[in-house]
Every structure is written in structure tokens, then in C-alpha cells.
Chain A
């Protein structure tokens, strides 16, 4: 079993296009999951009737079912009821819904740490609920929950590899697809292993930089 560098070089463009696809779905899904997280946390915290209960059910459902089955349900099941979207958008939808459930909890966790007094102080300053949420609570909550939000985003990046099961040509798909025809598993796994590790490490580093920056006002 020798390691064929020439083969890897020949497959490099395919791997790069897979990497690009992985990045695209990840970025889009991180964005949508944060939107879901902010909205869901607000619904839960302000006990918005119906929506708060729906959010709770959604979070529990996502957390207690395998993401792979969620993906198959979205991609193969939903078209039966007239909701058929491309592999790419199915992937983005699945990852957003999945990560969104965790982001709701992350943001909510951050909001819960905010002291009651701040809210009273804001109202005393004549801010309304909306302004309090937007200007006071959210910026503080985001700072507290940033580490867990970034953790969820890194998990999302890793979970984008599940999308190979619906034929989306992301990084893992490219590797498995090549292995099925060329049988050069060692080279392919070495390549995607390094690429995923690189992405995760890069994101983690970016995360710690951002965290450091945001903590600035609180350092004495």
C-alpha cells in the first residue's frame, strides 16, 4: 500500500470544489441558524403565546432525532407533500434547522444570565421592551453565549458532511465518490482529514480572536 501523491494531485481540483461547496453551505446555514436562534430565544424568553411552545417543541424534536433522518425526511419525504427543493437548499435547510435548535438554547442561555436589574434600569430610562431587547439585552447575551454559538457553528461545519447522503458534492461526497470508482481510500481520507481539521482549527482560532475582542470592555 503506497501513498500515491500524483493521484492526489490529479484529484486536487475535485477536492477543492468539494471544499468550496462545504464552505458555501456552512456559511449560509450558520447565518440562517443564528436568525432562528435569535427569534426562537426571543419567543421563549418573552413567552410569546403559541410561538414559545412551538419553539420548545422544535428544539426538543431536533435535539432528539438523528440529523441524518431529518435530512432524508426533508429531501425525500417532503416532496410528497409538494415541497421539493434542490440538494443544495435541502442541505442548507436541514443544517439551519438543526443548528437553529441549538442556537435558540445558546442565545437563551446568554439572555438568562442578564440580571433583572438591567431590565428595570432600562425601563426607568424610558426604553421600551423592543429597545431593551435590541440595545441592552442582546449585545450582552451575545457576548456571553458567543463561545457556545461558535461551537455550534463548528459542529455545523462538521455535520455538513452528512449532505453527501443526498448527493450534494461537498468534500466528503467527493472523497467517497472517488473511492467508489478508483479505490484509493488512504489518499482521499488523508486529504479530507487534513482539510476538515484545517477548517475546524481555523474556525476555532477565529473564534478565540473574536471572543478576546468582545471581552475587551469587560477587562480591567
Chain B
């Protein structure tokens, strides 16, 4: 673990004890909108290929922290964790799935960005994320800027893809479909770096000693539930749901279900503490 970017670890672990979500203790949930209630089932867009947030287990069942969030909302709305219908969404199609009314909400590693805010609405964030960059352990890169003129692999449609485009146009990006594709591209030497959500990278770096996380975190972002614009009742309900998940400390149990023990602290932090720059 020595090689993992120290500042990210510090951000994630160090401060966690002192700061927690400031939540108004309100067990009182607002009424969900009739339109959703009438369906009798919650239609949630989740990731199928983004462990530990959303993926499918060896039986094809939906698993992961974000799918558990959807199940919890279904339980609060309809009294049963089973009253939820999952749709797999990808980085490119999640927004069209939502605006096309295929799903009632997106809990799909969706980062809050100004571009997206023009098209969809977000709840209060349920998790924050730092962006990180993974390189080969034996390479000489120390800062993001060192990668100018080199290739960085990253999943399409992520906030990192946008960040590199806007902030480091000199870096060539290889945009692939999934996290595993990007990780493989780095390991196979098709790219000199792999940029993604730091929590995902921390796990990868912990598993593979030939990889190293750069000590240069960039772009902190929030992940929130996405919903269509102009649905204030629905937004109020989901905001309250996210806050209740935090106040009842539900994320911890969900993380424990899917994350191996040694990497859990990072996930506890991103779900349970306030974003470092807002502390």
C-alpha cells in the first residue's frame, strides 16, 4: 500500500473521524409523487459493470451499493425491497434513458457536472469522489502534467474524460467502454495512465503491485441520484431518502456486502464523510 497516493488516502481516511454528514434528524419523509406511486414499482437505472457500485453477481442478480440504494427507496415507497425494476445503463446511454422516461431515476455513478445539470436534475449528493490517475509503478510520472503528450485510458462519458479535455488537452485520451477495459489498456501498455474515480483506482492499486496511484488528485466531484427536470415532488422525496440513508448509516452495511475488507475504509469515507474541500 506504500505506493498509493498519500494525499488521497489522507483525505479519505484521516479526516473521517472528525467530520460526518450534517443531517437534520428527520424521520418524516415527504409523500412520493402520485405518478411514481401509481406504477407500484420503482424503475431504476443502474450500472451493471461498475463494481462495487453497480454490477451483476455470478447468478446474474443486481448487486452493489447503488443497487442497494434503489432497493431501499423501493422499500420506503412500496414496503418491499423487491418492488424495483433494474435497467442496465452505460456511461453513454444513462442520460437518454432517463430523459426518455425509461427509468424514474438514475443511481449510476453519475457525477454532478454543469453540462448534465442543463439536461437533468440531481438530488443532494450521496457520495463524493476524487479523480485519480493510475500509472505503472516503475514509470517516472509524478504529476498529471507529466503525462502531457502521453496517452491516458479512461471510460467514456465520465467526468474524468471531460476534465482531461478541458484542462489537459495535451494529454491524448483513449476512451474505452468500461473501467476494466481502461485498466487492461494501462497494464497492456496501450496507455501510460488510467484516469477514473479514485476509490476505484485505490482498489486496483491495492490489488496490483505493478500499478501506482499518482499523488496528484484532481477534480473533486459529487455523485448524486439523477432525475428528470421539473419534478419537484420527486426530487424532494429522493433528497429526503438520501439524507435518511446517511442519518441511518445504511451505506456502511451496503459497502460491507460487496467490498473486500482491506479496501472498505476508502468507501466508508466517500459515502459517509463530507467532501474534503467543504469541510
Contacts and interface: CB of A to CB of B under 8 A. Distances in A.
| B is bound to A | yes
Nearest to A83: B188
Interface of A is mostly: helix
A115 B95 CA distance: 61
Given A180-B156, A180-B157, A182-B115, A79 B174 contact: no
Interface string A144-184: 00000000000000000000011100000100110111110
B175 A167 contact: yes
A188 to B, nearest CB: 12
Contact of B181 (A76, A173, A180, A185): A76
A87 interface: yes
Nearest to A82: B188
B181 A183 contact: no
B161 interface: yes
A83 to B, nearest CB: 10
Residue among B91, B95, B156, B189 with most chain A CB within 10 A: B156
Given A86-B190, A167-B174, A167-B175, A181 B161 contact: yes
Nearest to B156: A180
A173 B119 CA distance: 22
Contacts of A193: none
A87 B174 contact: yes
B92 interface: yes
Given A177-B175, A181-B157, A183-B96, A84 B189 contact: yes
A177 B190 contact: no
Interface of B is mostly: mixed
Contacts of A183: 95-96, 119
A179 B162 CA distance: 12
A181 B165 CA distance: 11
Interface residues of B, number: 21
B184 interface: yes
A176 B90 CA distance: 12
A155 B176 CA distance: 24
B139 interface: no
A185 B115 contact: no
Contact of A79 (B92, B176, B188): B188
A185 B96 CA distance: 9
Residue among A167, A177, A179 with most chain B CB within 10 A: A167
B177 interface: yes
Interface in B146-191: 153, 156-157, 161-162, 174-177, 181, 184-185, 188-190
Given A79-B184, A87-B174, A165-B177, A180 B92 contact: yes
Interface of B: 91-92, 95-96, 115, 119, 153, 156-157, 161-162, 174-177, 181, 184-185, 188-190
Interface of A: 76, 79, 84, 86-87, 165-167, 173, 176-177, 179-183, 185
12 contacts: A79-B188, A86-B190, A166-B176, A167-B156, A167-B174, A176-B156, A177-B157, A179-B92, A180-B91, A180-B92, A181-B157, A183-B95
